[in-house]
Amino acid sequence: MKRKIVYFNQLLAVILCLGLMLMPIPVFASNSLDSEIDLTNYSDTNADGPGYTWDAKAKKLTLTDLTIHGTQGGGSAVKLPNGKITVDLVGDNVFDKCGSVFSQPNTYGVVLTDSITLTGAGSLTIKDAICMSPGNLNTLIVDGTRLYGSGKQGFVINSSFIAKNGAEVELKLTNEVSDPFNPIYAGASIEVYDSRIIVYPGKAGGGGLFVTGISSNSSDPIMKFINSDITTYGNSVGYSGYIKGKQMTQNNGKLYIENSIIHTDMPIYASQAELVGNVQFITPKNIEILRVGTDNLILNLANNADLQGYILKNSKDMIYATNYTLETDLQVSDGRNLNIMPNVELTLASGVKVTKNGSAKIINDGIIHVICNEIDAIKVDQGNEPNIVHKFVNYVSDNNVSCTENGTETAVCERGDNATDVREVQALRHRIVKVEKKPATCTEVGHEEYWKCEICDDLFSDEYGEIHIDQPTVIPALGHQCDTGAWKLDENNHWQECNICAEKLSIAPHTYKWVVDKEATITEKGLKHEECEICGYKKAPIEINKKNQENSDIPKTGDNNKFNQWIILSGTAFVGLLIGIYNYKKKVN
């Protein structure tokens, strides 16, 4: 019975564990509020709540992973007291469907000195706001933090919008209202330092970044981008509105860009402009990138500046200020001048033309490059004539380059005008390989190690090719060496052999003499052999016949069987003698 109870308890424990595993895991949400935070009555008093802490003395509001849900019916997500306020962002904070974001009880149009500074390692995301800020927000500073926003209208700021210290700001208008304002609409200035700004318009033709000029505490509205990245999608950038009750003229708005990248497909408008350092405009081809209303244009560009388009100055002069390639046709309107500045190169791509209307002029103080068979693509009215550009591709060597001397190669223009281009070819430089030492032999000289160029066959005594030589150091032939009187032989010849290379030397046939090995007697045959007088080679011995017993002391001189021949020869000689004597006597008588 006890064992059954134990088994039951174990089974129950397993079921409970499985049940816990299958239960949904609770998600611990961030702090959340369904109403605004109103701190207007806490100028001197601290306050806190879910996800926020207010330090009245420091004028600092800390938001920590806070989500505020609004109704878009009006009001701000956070109402702040007057003064310079710091909002420290911790974690990810979200204001969802609020009438606006921050507000202070200031009166619109009154001189204001208050500001709100967003800072911290966190972020603030504004979702579907009616207006990201109302007009009574004086100055908004985004200091090294992240601000993302979407709404029917953007930030309407009475004085200045400032982003600095690596801030990241991305704002987007979401509706098609007739007056969408702009993602950032500031009265006095928009200033961006070492930060990144991206803005989207609410509809086609909507604005992007605008300084309105309506701030009562600024007479010199300015837009300033330094070491920053600015992107405006489908919206213009510049100045509009009024200053001090008067309509703003082109003499008021100032633009300053230094070492920054501007992504835009519409021009920036300003009355005065100064571009400094490595400024880049990343734009569609052949568009107006900047319009300056007066002659106050200062260009102090660095080598890596890249203005992808032209500047329109005084509504008259179209200026290309950095090297540029036209890839689509360009038309210069009546009354305007296309001006290529000194040291600037304008290149017309193949098939591209620049045309003029009415009194338009093309003034070339720089260089215009035109394809050689398209010289009518542009006509210069003043300044330098276009530079004809040939197409040289296939260069052929003129066979005059060496390891140490430069040469040339020539190409013919591929566009068919027979123009040629000769360009220098750098010397090949020696290609040095090592030649190993060759020992001398008995009959052939050798040489020490040396180095040789595979290209020109020049010789060097060093591996770096610095010391030329006419020939390598010679190792004399050794000469044959052999032991005098030591002969090698076979049955036909004798010779001497080199102790070094074993070559046969002084080879010659044997010179024989007879050598008696054993004298013959009357009772025994003798032996004799032929022996080389030089090397001592011996042929096989042959026998000597026994001596005759009867006349053993007279050596045999021939064969007795030839006695009759001697008789005949003697008789013939005697007859001849008699005939001679007879003829002599007859002649005497």
In this structure, the answer to whether residues 365 and 339 fall within a common structural domain is: yes
- Residue 17 inside a domain? The answer is no
Nearest Cα to 256, choosing from 285, 298, 219? Answer: 298
In this structure, the answer to whether residues 156 and 215 fall within a common structural domain is: yes
Token pair 């260009």 is found at 299
* Residues in a beta bridge with 52: 49, 63
pLDDT at 567: 63
pLDDT at 174: 82
How far is 278 from 563, CA to CA, in rounded Å?
A: 138
How far is 379 from 375, CA to CA, in rounded Å?
A: 8
In this structure, the answer to whether residues 149 and 186 fall within a common structural domain is: yes
pLDDT (average), residues 352-375: 94
In this structure, the answer to whether residues 216 and 89 fall within a common structural domain is: yes
Indicate whether 5 pLDDT > 80. no
pLDDT at 205: 55
Indicate whether 334 pLDDT > 80. yes
pLDDT (average), residues 507-529: 90
In this structure, the answer to whether residues 237 and 192 fall within a common structural domain is: yes
- Residue 556 inside a domain? The answer is no
Tens-digit pLDDT profile for residues 86-112: 999 999 999 998 888 888 776 444 444
pLDDT (average), residues 531-559: 75
How far is the CA of 558 from the CAs of 529, 543, 547, in angstroms?
21, 18, 14
* Final residue in a domain of this structure, among 286, 303, 322: 322
Token pair 């098939």 is found at 351
Asked if residues 398 and 410 have their Cβ atoms less than 8 Å apart, the reply is yes
If one compares 132 and 11, the residue with the highest pLDDT of the two is 132
pLDDT (average), residues 191-204: 87
Residue 206: pLDDT band (50, 70, 90) is low
pLDDT at 61: 97
If one compares 435 and 181, the residue with the highest pLDDT of the two is 435
- Residue 20 inside a domain? The answer is no
pLDDT at 132: 86
Residue 13: pLDDT band (50, 70, 90) is very low
pLDDT at 158: 84
In this structure, the answer to whether residues 166 and 237 fall within a common structural domain is: yes
For the chain, helix, strand, coil in percent to 5 are: 10, 45, 45
Concatenated DSSP letters of 313-339? ETTTEEEE-S-EEE-S-EEEPTT-EEE
Nearest Cα to 92, choosing from 68, 60, 115, 128? Answer: 68
Mean pLDDT of the chain: 83
In this structure, the answer to whether residues 202 and 303 fall within a common structural domain is: no
Token pair 């070491």 is found at 227
Indicate whether 580 pLDDT > 50. yes
- Residue 500 inside a domain? The answer is yes
In this structure, the answer to whether residues 161 and 211 fall within a common structural domain is: yes
How far is the CA of 151 from the CAs of 71, 207, 350, in angstroms?
13, 14, 46
In this structure, the answer to whether residues 192 and 260 fall within a common structural domain is: no
In this structure, the answer to whether residues 239 and 135 fall within a common structural domain is: yes
- Residue 10 inside a domain? The answer is no
Indicate whether 34 pLDDT > 90. no
If one compares 237 and 545, the residue with the highest pLDDT of the two is 545
pLDDT (average), residues 475-503: 87
Backbone angles phi and psi of 446, in degrees to 5 = -115, -170
Tens-digit pLDDT profile for residues 394-424: 999 999 999 999 999 999 998 877 889 999 9
Give 415's Cβ-side CA count (13 Å radius).
Answer: 15
Give 254's Cβ-side CA count (13 Å radius).
Answer: 12
In this structure, the answer to whether residues 183 and 304 fall within a common structural domain is: no
- Residue 196 inside a domain? The answer is yes
pLDDT at 12: 44
Indicate whether 323 pLDDT > 80. yes
The tally of domains found in the chain comes to 6
Domain span at residue 494 reads 488-550
Indicate whether 383 pLDDT > 90. yes
In this structure, the answer to whether residues 148 and 259 fall within a common structural domain is: no
Tens-digit pLDDT profile for residues 557-575: 444 555 555 466 666 666 6
- Residue 501 inside a domain? The answer is yes
pLDDT at 113: 53
Indicate whether 215 pLDDT > 60. no
Residue type (1 letter), 19: G
pLDDT at 248: 37
Q: Which of 11-15, 244-248, 562-566 shows the lowest per-residue confidence on average (mean pLDDT)? A: 244-248
Tens-digit pLDDT profile for residues 421-450: 999 999 989 999 999 999 999 889 999 999
Asked if residues 63 and 88 have their Cβ atoms less than 8 Å apart, the reply is yes
- Residue 24 inside a domain? The answer is no
Q: Which of 126-140, 154-168, 268-282, 553-567 shows the lowest per-residue confidence on average (mean pLDDT)? A: 553-567
Indicate whether 176 pLDDT > 80. no
* C-beta neighbour count of 76 within 10 angstroms: 25
